[in-house]
């Protein structure tokens, strides 16, 4: 089994020293670097390059520079996607965004996790867990979403939150760790 196959299976895999994965990350980061250097007025080339970086996109997508990801091909973005400046997606596993997702500045989505055992960590081993964000979700600035988390549709995540566990549909959740503070339906 290759390291890439181990990663896809949710097993510990060699993320740091495997040549195939290392070369894929380098190629993706080169494309991200190119994207980040484009002028904002060059929307045609920005959109073309985003569609080359990201595995699956719809038509209406906007990511303000700077944008960084590990592989790109593990990212799926729905229609009407907007991410403000400094988006980081460590997409060792799938990161899927629904339609009408709005992301504030300085947000990060991390599918990579590392063993508690120092020997395994020092060998470059890690694991990856997918992240899913539903439709009509708004994430405030400086939100961090950790491996294996799902965020339900019609949900708002408050600025500065660290999302460590699944968040249901139709709620406002904030904090570190992020917790539900109210049901949006009750508010309306």
pLDDT per position as a tens digit, 41-51: 998 999 999 99
Spacing of C-alpha 38 from chain mean position: 22
Catalytic residues: 114
**CATH T-level topology, domain 3-187:** UDP N-Acetylglucosamine Acyltransferase; domain 1 (2.160.10)
Q: Report the share of the chain in percent with pLDDT over 90.
A: 93
pLDDT at 185: 75
Return d(Cα 95, Cα 72) in angstroms, integer. Answer: 9
Inter-residue contact 72 to 53 (CB < 8 Å): yes
pLDDT at 5: 95
pLDDT along the chain (188 residues), means of 10: 94 93 97 96 93 94 97 98 98 98 98 95 94 98 98 98 98 98 79
Q: State the DSSP H helix or E strand holding residue 187, giving kind and residue range, or none if neither.
A: helix 184-187
What DSSP character marks residue 167? B
pLDDT at 186: 65
Return d(Cα 144, Cα 141) in angstroms, integer. Answer: 9
Q: Using CB atoms within 10 A of its CB, is residue 141 exposed (0-12), middle (13-18) or buried (19+)?
A: middle
Three-state SS string across 2-55, please? CHHHHHHCCCCEECCCCHHHHHHHHHHHHHHHHHHHCCCCCHHHHHHHHHHHCC
Q: What are the tokens at 137?
A: 């979700």
User: What's the predicted TM-score (pTM) here?
Assistant: 0.95
pLDDT per position as a tens digit, 73-107: 999 999 999 999 999 999 999 999 999 999 999 99
pLDDT at 140: 98
* CA angle in degrees (0–180, nearest 5) for 139-145-149: 110
Q: Where are the domains of the chain?
A: 3-187
């Amino acid at each position: 089994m290759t390291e890439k196959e181990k990663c896809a299976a949710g097993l510990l895999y060699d993320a740091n020293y495997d040549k195939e994965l290392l070369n894929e990350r380098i190629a993706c980061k080169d494309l991200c670097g190119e994207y980040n250097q484009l002028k904002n007025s060059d929307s045609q080339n920005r959109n073309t390059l985003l569609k080359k970086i990201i595995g699956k996109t719809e038509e209406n997508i906007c990511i303000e520079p700077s944008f960084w990801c590990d592989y790109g091909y593990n990212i799926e973005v729905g229609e009407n996607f907007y991410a403000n400046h400094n988006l980081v997606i460590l997409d060792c596993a799938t990161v899927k965004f629904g339609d009408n997702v709005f992301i504030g500045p300085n947000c990060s989505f991390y599918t990579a996790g590392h063993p508690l055992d120092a020997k395994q960590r020092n060998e470059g081993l890690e694991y990856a867990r997918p992240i899913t964000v539903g439709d009509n979700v708004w994430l405030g600035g400086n939100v961090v979403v950790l491996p294996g988390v799902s965020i339900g549709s019609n949900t708002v995540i408050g600025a500065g939150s660290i999302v460590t566990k699944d968040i249901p549909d139709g709620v406002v959740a904030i904090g570190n760790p992020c917790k539900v503070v109210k049901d949006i339906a009750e508010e309306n």
